[in-house]
Amino acid sequence: MSVAIEESDPFCLTPTDAAALLVRAPWRRFAVIGDSLSAGTGDPSPGYGPLGWADRVADVLRLVRPDLAYLNVAEVGATTTRTVATQGDRMLAFAPDLVHVPCGANDLFRREPDFAAIERGLCRLFGLAAVTGAQLTTFTLGRAFVVPGFPDWSERVRAVNAITRALAVEYGAVLVDMWDHPVNDRPDLFSVDRIHFASAGQAVMAAEMVRGLAAVLDRDHQIAGWAHGRRDLTARAPDRRS
């Protein structure tokens, strides 16, 4: 299949460019838990590769870490509670050093969602993933994600996004904020079900995740360089105690 459209998409990255951004990536065990968003569920888009975002990120990491182990146990329809109950142990047993955590989308499909309960569930999920010591990642939901029958849907999404952003800060997670990303304005963003991003959207999500991971690597590299410089200065400083 031709990927000419993907290669010219300003929000996407070629495999070579993505690998260059992650060339210093230390991660060797990448785990993904959650729902269909985590799984990368979506219909094919003409001119784009067929893979979901998580599989794409795993492929990029394999370019720089050929020994990468990858586990994706995300389930379509999984709530936060179900993710903890059915996927948590498998994630922990895998001993990942990079973990993607969901953002509670399926918890919104209720007559009256309990946001305090959603926050407790997501906090438990982030805490469980953090036990591994891994770098965590997550998304917020895009504003184009609208479900007919729920007139307050945008308010629901805003509320769960606010919870996700706060937890990302608390746990040092890479946050790919899709709420107001320009891709939301594309008419062909969704699959036929009008819920899941088609593969064109998946390609953009993957590229933004790579950029987010690259930002962490750059930050850590700068901190390491600063610390090394301080050690050198300390070692060269004259002893003024005598």
What are residue 139's DSSP bridge partners?
A: 176
Residue 10 forms part of a structural domain: yes
Tell me which residue range forms the domain holding 177.
4-236
Per residue in 152-197, pLDDT tens?
Answer: 999 999 999 999 999 999 999 999 999 999 999 999 999 999 999 9
Q: How far, CA to CA in Å, does 185 sit from each of 132, 137, 142, 151, 190?
A: 37, 24, 10, 20, 11
The predicted pLDDT at position 2 comes to 46
Q: How far, CA to CA in Å, does 237 sit from each of 155, 223, 227, 228, 234?
A: 58, 21, 15, 14, 5
Residue 242 forms part of a structural domain: no
Lowest mean pLDDT among 3-7, 10-14, 223-227: 223-227
**Residue 160, domain CATH:** 3.40.50.1110
- Give the total number of structural domains in the chain: 1
Could you tell me the pTM of the whole model? 0.90
The predicted pLDDT at position 4 comes to 66
Cα–Cα distance measured from residue 176 to residue 184, given in angstroms and rounded to the nearest whole number: 14
Per residue in 76-116, pLDDT tens?
Answer: 999 999 999 999 999 999 999 999 999 999 999 999 999 99
- Cβ atoms of 146 and 109 closer than 8 Å: no
The predicted pLDDT at position 3 comes to 60
Residue 84 forms part of a structural domain: yes
Residue 241 forms part of a structural domain: no
The predicted pLDDT at position 158 comes to 98
